[in-house]
């Protein structure tokens, strides 16, 4: 595939690395060939870089497999997921899923992303509901602006929540930023 045909959300293989296209800018001047400046994310390492390629440069476009599975448990060095239709279990190294561990609760449905039987990671839902295990009591009169307090969720994640939230409440948390989003 010609590099100028890439669009955000496409995946391609180059030098043994799998890249996801975040953004692409095509630049054409009168004296030169078209140049594509592509902002890419290395799917294996998570690093984001910008690469430039001339028009006519060929890349190998690939498709990643996405399979819905449920989170079962943390086995120390591995996190275990299960396919609900085949009951096949998959172990993913916990070190690869440091951020995602903050939102994983038993039986949470996630998308396992893989390429050629190599598991690259997981896609979480946009928001998850988590239980508050510990939070400070509300302090009256502390309402100059948005009154917030610290709270710890069942997964160990610490978030800022409004004063009316108490221990044991279910709250909705965004998985991209880790911020409080509302009551569940």
State the average pLDDT for the chain: 87
Q: Identify the burial level of 81 via C-beta atoms within 10 angstroms of its C-beta, where 0-12 means exposed, 13-18 middle and 19 or more buried.
A: buried
> Cα–Cα distance between 81 and 130 in angstroms, integer?
19
Position 148 scores a pLDDT of 83
CA distance 157 to 133: 10
Residue 138 has pLDDT above 80, yes or no: no
Contact 7, 29 (CB under 8 A): no
Q: Is the pLDDT of residue 143 over 80?
A: no
- pLDDT at residue 70, as a whole number: 93
Rounded average pLDDT over 57-81: 90
What DSSP character marks residue 76?
S
User: Minimum mean pLDDT among 74-83, 119-128, 129-138, 143-152: which range?
Assistant: 143-152
Query: Of 24, 87, 86, 10, which is closest to residue 53 (Cα–Cα)?
Result: 24
Share of the chain above pLDDT 90, in %: 22
């Amino acid at each position: 595939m010609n590099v100028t045909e890439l669009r955000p959300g496409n995946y391609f293989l180059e030098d043994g690395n799998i890249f996801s296209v975040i953004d692409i800018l095509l630049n054409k001047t009168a004296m030169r060939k078209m140049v594509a400046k592509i902002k890419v994310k290395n799917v294996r390492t998570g690093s984001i870089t910008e690469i430039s390629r001339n028009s006519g440069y060929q890349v190998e476009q690939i498709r990643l497999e996405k399979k819905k599975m449920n989170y079962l448990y943390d086995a120390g060095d591995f996190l275990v997921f299960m396919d609900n239709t085949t009951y096949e279990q998959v172990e993913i190294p916990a070190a690869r899923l440091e951020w995602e561990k903050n939102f994983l609760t038993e039986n949470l449905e996630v998308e396992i992303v893989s390429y050629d039987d190599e598991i690259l990671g997981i896609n979480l839902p946009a928001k998850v509901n988590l239980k508050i295990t510990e939070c400070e009591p509300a302090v009256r009169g502390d309402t100059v602006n948005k009154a917030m307090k610290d709270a710890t969720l069942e997964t160990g994640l610490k978030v800022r929540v409004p004063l009316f939230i108490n221990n044991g409440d279910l709250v909705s948390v965004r998985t991209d930023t880790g911020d409080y989003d509302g009551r569940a």
